[in-house]
C-alpha cells in the first residue's frame, strides 16, 4: 500500500510529521534501539527564534485527563546555532527525512529574518510559521488570533524565502477559518493545525498554578475531537486550494485516519511520542489496514473523504 503524500511539492514517504517541539531537532529519538525512521514522513523541528531563548521557568509539564499541558516557552538555541551546528550535524548523519523549520518571533521582521537565515541551509525542506504558540508573552498567539496580523507575518515570510511556507494555526480563537483564509491569500503553501489549547492545572498542595508559566498548552488525546473538527472546517473552506497537516491528539492509526478523513493530507504526531516512540510505525501500519478495509488504493483518496461521505442534509434544524 502506498502511504506517499505530497505537501507543498515535498514528497513524504508517509503522511506522519513529527510535531514541532516533541521531537527536538530530530536527533534524540535516534537513541532508541528500535526507532523506525521509515515510518516518518517529515520532521518539524523545535520552534526557533532569532536569538537563543531561555524558555519558561519550570515546572513546564503536567499531566491532565488524557492530555498533557506544557509551557516550554520556546526554549531554543536561536536560528544561527541551528543553522551552523544542528543542521550540518543532521546532514553529516545522513538524515534524508524532509525537515520543516518551525519559526517563531516577537515581531513580523523577526519572523522574516529567521526565515531568511533558515533559507540558507541546504537541508530545510519547508518553513512552518508558528503563529500559534500559547506559551510566550509576545508574538505567537497574538498573530495567530487575528487574520490581518497573521497575514502580515505570512506575507513577510513569503517574501523572505523561496522555500515552501506552511502556516501553523491556533485553535484558541473563534476565527480559525478566517485566519486560515488570510494566510492562504498571503501566500502560505500549506497549513498545519492545531497547536495546543490554552489550559491550566492548579497544584492542590501549594494551591497555585502548577506550571511556572501558570497557563500552558493542552495536547494529547483529550484534544483530538477539537483537532478533527478544525481540520474538517478548514478543509471545507480551503481544501481545494492547499494541503493541510492535521494534528492534535493522534496516538494511533484510528486517530490518524480520522484526521485524514477530515481533510489532513498529512498527520502530525506529537505527545504520543512521549509514551510510545513506536507510534509512527504502528500508525503507518494501521493506516495501510484502514485503506485496505475501505477499499482505497491510495492515501490521497481518503483525504477529506468524510466530506464526500456526509449525510445528506446533515446539520442542525
Does residue 53 touch ligand FMN according to CB under 6 A?
no
Residues numbered 130-149 forming contacts with ligand FMN, rule: CB under 6 A: 130, 133
Does residue 179 touch ligand FMN according to CB under 6 A?
no
Among 55, 164, 187, 209, contact with another protein (rule: CB under 8 A): 55
What is the number of other CB atoms lying within 10 angstroms of the CB of residue 285? 14
Catalytic entry in 7, 133, 136, 156: 133
Evaluate whether 165 touches 127 at the Cβ level (below 8 Å).
yes
Q: Is 187 exposed, middle or buried (0-12, 13-18, 19+ CB in 10 A)?
A: middle
Residues numbered 56-115 forming contacts with a second copy, rule: CB under 8 A: 56-57, 64-67, 69, 71, 73
Distance of CA 120 to the CA centre of its chain: 22
Residue 133: active-site member: yes
Binding mask 78-107 for another protein (x = CB under 8 A): ---xx--xx--x------------------
Evaluate whether 127 touches 118 at the Cβ level (below 8 Å).
yes
Give ∠ CA 304-306-311 in degrees, rounded to 5. Answer: 145
Q: How far is the CB of 282 from another protein (least distance, A)?
A: 12
Q: What Rg do the C-alpha atoms of the chain give, in angstroms?
A: 18
Binding mask 206-225 for another protein (x = CB under 8 A): --------------xx----
Nearer of residues 46 and 290 to ligand FMN, judged by Cβ: 46
Evaluate whether 299 touches 260 at the Cβ level (below 8 Å).
yes
Q: Cell digits for 190?
A: 500549506
Q: Cell digits for 114?
A: 529567521
Measured over the CA atoms of residue 59, residue 64, residue 68 and residue 69, the dihedral's sign is: negative
Q: Which does 199 bind (CB under 5 to 8 A by kind): ligand FMN, another protein, a second copy, none?
A: a second copy
Does 194 sit behind a cis peptide bond, omega within 30 degrees of 0 on the bond before it? yes
Nearer of residues 41 and 220 to ligand FMN, judged by Cβ: 220
SS (H, E, C) 48-105: ECCCCECCCCCCCEEEECCEEEECCCCCECCHHHHHHHHHHHHHHCCCCCCEEEEECC
Distance of CA 94 to the CA centre of its chain: 24
Q: Cell digits for 219?
A: 495536547
Q: Which does 269 bind (CB under 5 to 8 A by kind): another protein, a second copy, ligand FMN, none?
A: ligand FMN
| DSSP 8-state code for residue 29 | G
Binding mask 274-303 for ligand FMN (x = CB under 6 A): ------------------------------
Q: Which residue's Cβ has the minimum distance to ligand FMN?
A: 21
In 3D, which of 182, 101, 104 has the Cα closest to residue 139? 104
Q: Which does 69 bind (CB under 5 to 8 A by kind): another protein, a second copy, ligand FMN, none?
A: a second copy
Number of residues located near a second copy, criterion CB under 8 A? 67
In 3D, which of 308, 220, 219 has the Cα closest to residue 262? 308
Does residue 60 touch another protein according to CB under 8 A?
yes
Does residue 29 touch another protein according to CB under 8 A?
yes
Binding mask 162-181 for a second copy (x = CB under 8 A): ----------xxxx------
Ramachandran sector of residue 161 (left: φ over 0; alpha: ψ -120 to 50; beta: rest): beta
Does residue 249 touch ligand FMN according to CB under 6 A?
yes
- Binding residues (CB under 6 A) for ligand FMN: these are 19-22, 46-47, 68, 70, 72, 74, 102, 130, 133, 168, 195-196, 219-220, 223, 247-250, 268-272
- Binding residues (CB under 8 A) for another protein: these are 21-25, 27-34, 46, 52, 54-55, 57-63, 66-68, 70, 72, 75-77, 81-82, 85-86, 89, 220-221, 271, 273-275, 277-278
Amino acid at each position: 500500500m502506498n502511504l506517499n503524500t505530497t505537501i507543498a511539492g515535498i514528497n513524504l514517504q508517509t503522511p506522519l510529521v513529527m510535531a514541532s517541539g516533541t521531537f527536538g531537532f530530530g536527533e534524540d529519538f535516534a537513541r532508541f534501539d528500535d526507532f523506525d525512521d521509515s515510518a516518518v514522513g517529515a520532521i518539524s523541528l523545535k520552534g526557533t527564534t532569532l536569538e537563543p531563548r531561555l524558555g519558561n521557568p519550570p515546572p513546564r509539564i503536567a499531566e491532565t485527563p488524557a492530555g498533557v499541558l506544557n509551557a516550554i516557552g520556546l526554549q531554543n538555541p536561536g536560528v544561527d546555532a541551528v543553522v551552523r551546528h544542528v543542521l550540518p550535524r543532521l546532514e553529516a548523519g545522513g538524515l534524508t527525512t524532509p525537515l520543516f523549520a518551525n519559526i517563531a518571533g516577537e515581531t513580523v521582521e523577526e519572523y522574516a529574518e529567521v526565515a531568511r537565515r533558515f533559507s540558507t541551509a541546504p537541508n530545510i525542506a519547508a518553513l512552518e510559521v508558528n503563529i500559534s504558540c500559547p506559551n510566550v508573552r509576545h508574538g505567537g498567539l497574538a498573530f495567530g488570533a487575528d487574520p490581518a496580523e497573521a497575514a502580515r507575518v505570512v506575507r513577510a515570510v513569503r517574501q523572505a524565502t523561496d522555500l515552501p511556507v506552511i502556516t501553523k494555526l491556533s485553535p484558541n480563537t473563534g476565527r480559525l477559518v478566517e485566519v486560515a483564509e488570510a494566510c492562504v491569500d498571503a501566500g502560505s503553501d500549506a497549513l498545519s493545525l492545531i497547536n495546543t489549547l490554552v489550559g491550566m492545572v492548579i497544584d492542590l498542595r501549594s494551591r497555585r498554578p502548577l506550571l511556572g508559566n501558570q497557563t500552558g498548552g493542552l495536547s494529547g488525546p483529550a484534544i483530538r475531537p477539537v483537532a478533527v473538527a478544525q481540520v474538517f472546517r478548514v478543509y471545507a473552506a480551503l481544501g481545494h486550494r492547499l494541503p493541510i497537516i492535521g494534528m492534535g491528539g493522534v496516538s494511533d492509526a484510528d486517530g490518524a485516519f480520522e484526521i485524514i478523513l477530515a481533510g489532513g493530507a498529512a498527520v502530525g504526531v506529537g505527545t504520543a511520542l512521549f509514551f510510545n516512540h513506536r507510534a509512527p510505525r504502528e500508525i503507518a501500519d494501521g493506516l495501510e489496514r484502514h485503506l485496505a478495509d475501505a477499499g482505497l488504493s491510495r492515501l490521497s483518496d481518503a483525504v477529506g473523504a468524510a466530506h464526500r461521505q456526509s449525510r445528506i442534509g446533515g446539520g442542525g434544524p
